[in-house]
Amino acid sequence: MTSQPPSPPPQPEQPAEAVPTCYRHPDKETWVRCQRCERPICPDCMRDAAVGFQCPECVAEGNRGIRQAKSTFGGSVVRTPFVTYAILVINVLLFGAQYLTGGLVTRALMMWPEAVAVLDQYYRLITAAFLHDTSGPVPVHILFNSWALFVVGPYLERAFGHLRFVALYLISALGGSVLGLWLDLPNQPTIGASGAVFGLFGAIFVVGRRLNMDVRGIAVVIAINLVFTFVFSGISWTGHIGGLITGTLLGAAMAYAPRKNQSLWQGLAIVGALALLAVLVVVRASAILAAA
């Protein structure tokens, strides 16, 4: 009879390893960890990294150290020139409203010095730049301005960024209206985006010079349009010249702003242009009221 070795004592059962849960969503189990901080992250919190995944906090921390891309003259990078397209749409919609209302919209929004000064309707200084001539079988006025804006606008919007481009366009339009306020007859109505467009022409000229580009093409365009301004009747030369001067000066101020504190200098140029034009409006409106 042989003896059997004693059986080993029973071993206690090992507890199962607990499944980690996402540090942001404790109800979600996950075995994936952030490559930087090693905290567990669920699929909703995973952000692609060069190797593996990172959590949202680590991604945000990394992005803070990355210098954001800027446009040529300090604005945000523009991939789609939304402002240019929005202005084009507004112009077309208002043109349709002018046509359908038989001139009611035109009379309500067009620029004429007496209404600005006597009726305190200062909004006309800007709204007139979104109206166009509806007479004639072919809408030449809006077609030319729309074409010019479509060609020049995207380039300047990408160069300056959305906000700076908006300021350039509207202040150029205002500059054209202000010169009309000073030199047109008190009861002389004017409409059209030509002042703003001439401002863009002047701005693209100085931008081209700033970037050492060939600007002879835009110089020829400006010269031809100035000839049309003074040769053909029914064209507001004050709007064209006022917009050209304003857009050229403001464009130069923004394009040649010092790199150090560039946004500050550009902001001061915009505010300064608005302040100067506002003073000119107040002075001229007071003179018209005194003569009335």
Residues 168, 240, single domain; the answer is yes
Last residue of a domain, one of 44, 59, 74: 59
Answer whether 0.85 is exceeded by the pTM: no
Q: 179 pLDDT exceeds 50?
A: yes
Residues 50, 124, single domain; the answer is no
Residue of 198, 212, 140, 208 whose CA lies nearest to 169: 198
Q: 129 pLDDT exceeds 50?
A: yes
- 70: how many CB neighbours lie within 10 A of its CB? 13
pLDDT at 178: 98
Q: What is the pLDDT of residues 75-105, one digit of tens each?
A: 888 889 999 999 999 999 999 999 999 889 9
Average pLDDT for residues 39-67, to the nearest whole number? 78
Residues 189, 271, single domain; the answer is yes
Average pLDDT for residues 239-250, to the nearest whole number? 98
- 21: how many CB neighbours lie within 10 A of its CB? 14
Residue of 122, 105, 106 whose CA lies nearest to 114: 122
Residues 29, 115, single domain; the answer is no
Domain annotation covers residue 105: yes
Domain annotation covers residue 149: yes
**Average pLDDT over all residues of the chain:** 89
Residues 269, 130, single domain; the answer is yes
Tokens matching residue 242: 């006022």
- Structural domain that includes position 29: 20-59
Domain annotation covers residue 77: no
Phi, psi of 33 (to 5 degrees): -125, 150
Domain count, the chain: 2
Helices then strands (H, E): number in the chain? Answer: 11, 2
Domain annotation covers residue 30: yes
Residues 42, 141, single domain; the answer is no
Q: 65 pLDDT exceeds 70?
A: no
Domain annotation covers residue 72: no
Contacts of 15 (CB under 8 A, 6+ apart): none
CB 217 within 8 A of CB 169: no
pLDDT at 77: 84
Distance CA 183, CA 186 (A): 9
Instruction: Kindly list the catalytic residues.
Output: 194, 240
Residues 86, 55, single domain; the answer is no
Q: Give Dmax over CA atoms of the chain in angstroms.
A: 139
Domain annotation covers residue 213: yes
Residues 116, 254, single domain; the answer is yes
